[in-house]
Amino acid sequence: MQNNAPLAAAWTRLADLAAHPEARDIRARFAADPDRAARFTASLDDLTLDYSKSSVGPEAMAALLALAEAAGLEAFRARLFGGDVVNPTEGRAAMHMALRSAPDAGMRATLPGGVDEASRLAAAERDKMQDFVRKVHSGELRGATGLPFNTVLNIGIGGSDLGPRMAVDALTLAGTPHLRARFLSNVDGHAFAAMAHELDPARTLVLVASKTFTTLETMTNAHAVRAWMAGQLGEAAIGAQFGALSTNLAAVGAFGIRPEHVFGFRDWVGGRYSVWSPIGLPVALAAGWEAFQAMLDGGRAMDEHFLRAPFAENLPVLLALTGIWHIDALDLRTQCVLAYDERLRRFPAYLQQLEMESNGKSVALDGHPVEHPTCPVVFGEPGTDAQHSFMQLVHQGTQPVPVDFLFAAVADHDRPEAHRILIANALAQAEALLRGKTAAEAEAEMRAKGAAEDHIRAVAPHRAFSGNRPSNTIMFRRLDGFTLGRLIALYEHKVAVQGCIWNIDSFDQWGVELGKVLAGGILPELAAGAQAGAHDASTTALVRRFKALRGES
């Protein structure tokens, strides 16, 4: 356990502030401070974070900043960017920032046997990626029958799927992509069956995204697509039309993929932080190299802000500390993300992995149980769709749900009125969560419409909203590659800051391993005639029932 008197005092101060009756009263803070919106807003150029609609006040922010200082955030940040081992359970650095750094940035990553020149290695692989993208787009690189590619099919799962899938949506949905991008992640055979009929095998470039080239779901899908393409075009198509995002050169070669179509990355790149690496190749193929490079540049701009801005003006730090206030001080265990932009429809799913796989931990760095609640449950959908599904709970449920609203001021379509309607809804939802509606206001509304008094008394309580429900608003000029890069890096650094304060390893993911191991044992037992192994009674019964329903008992 951490033995740090200033840290303990900071946690105690935070708890004391949260215990005050006004700790959750956001409306009262606006009434008492006419300048609250300005004082609780921070910006990086056009990217603005307004956290004034949280209940964080000056005292709470001072306590949160003291907590960050006592937790050693400044030293942790230096170790992170210095390439030190910040993932101790795997003995690894977390140097994904080098993937978006300038070639001469000199970022290095500590390895068990030495040090990697991370910036230089990333730049070399990036040059190889750029050349590949150029050849595909120009038609210099074609399929086995001589036709140019019109589709890139990415086969991956987890970080090898969520990041590129999200980024392709964000950067191509409002325009014409260079290549159509399709993503195959679910090992369920229905997924590829539903996709195959719309793919032209002669014009489809396939990328298998697996660092080890052994991920069960990914390789099962890869072999299915390989058999489909070979059956349509012959074995020669595999070398011509498959690429790999992997470091297992032997396995990739055995699969039939040419060395010049293989792009790798190092162990200091975690899966959920890998969209900046060759895992982002489908983004560059679909959206174009300029858009992908802009995304890298945006991520680097947020890195520089995180490194240099004082904590009281630092967007990732402020977003993280506001979350600490909600989770640890006010005991709010969920986080909703509402992007009022169809192009960011996959952003909540991306953040689910980024946040919950990183900080969904119950063991501290010293091996003891954590002393404070950690990661919330993250969920979300695009606005305005969400207003017609789960927002009922967010407005009137028994526990407040903090919300992050995200939107662009400028849309990339020719329907300005639709965009104004969209943003009016975003602003109104945030205001409604803050203001609420009293029973007296509900009664007055109904009375003004001529409702009978007995009906008013019966219905008004159901039409009242408590208000004082927290939210942040993140606004930017327009959604392009540069802005997307800043947004992704903003949340990456938020996660790292919270992990530092909670004293956990934000860069491992041992919680996903046990299920994989057990699945490997159950798989052969599902074959016809196989015996069930040693499991709990429920699992054994379900294996038998599964085989009985298939007529294989």
**Helix H or strand E encompassing 132:** helix 118-138
CA–CA gap between residue 151 and residue 143 (Å, rounded) = 11
Q: Is the dihedral of CA 528, 530, 531, 532 positive or negative?
A: negative
- Three-state DSSP state, 79: helix
Contact 13, 66 (CB under 8 A): yes
62: which 2 tokens?
Answer: 């001072």
The yes-or-no answer on residue 357 being catalytic is yes
How many Cβ atoms are within 10 Å of 544's Cβ, its own excluded? 13
The yes-or-no answer on residue 20 being catalytic is no
94: which 2 tokens?
Answer: 């977390």
Residue corresponding to tokens 């190092």? 266
Distances (CA, A) of 478 to 61, 248, 406, 470: 30, 39, 11, 25
Per annotation, catalytic residue among 74, 453, 516, 552 = 516
Whether omega before 384 lies within 30 degrees of 0, making that bond cis, reads yes
Q: Give the largest Cα separation in the chain, rounded.
A: 80
CA–CA gap between residue 497 and residue 491 (Å, rounded) = 10
The yes-or-no answer on residue 217 being catalytic is no
**Helix H or strand E encompassing 163:** helix 162-172
Contact 207, 151 (CB under 8 A): no
Contact 184, 153 (CB under 8 A): yes
Task: Calculate ∠ Cα 269-275-278, nearest 5°.
Answer: 75
- Closest-CA residue to 470 (of 375, 344, 336): 336
Amino acid symbol at 433: L
Contact 406, 339 (CB under 8 A): yes
Residue corresponding to tokens 């019964």? 541
CA–CA gap between residue 208 and residue 238 (Å, rounded) = 12
Q: Phi and psi of 413, rounded to 5°?
A: -145, 175
Per annotation, catalytic residue among 190, 197, 198, 388 = 388
Per annotation, catalytic residue among 357, 381, 443, 492 = 357
Distances (CA, A) of 243 to 1, 182, 217: 47, 15, 17
Contact 323, 498 (CB under 8 A): yes
How many Cβ atoms are within 10 Å of 221's Cβ, its own excluded? 24
CA–CA gap between residue 397 and residue 381 (Å, rounded) = 18
Q: Which DSSP state fits 329?
A: I
Residues catalogued as catalytic:
357, 388, 516
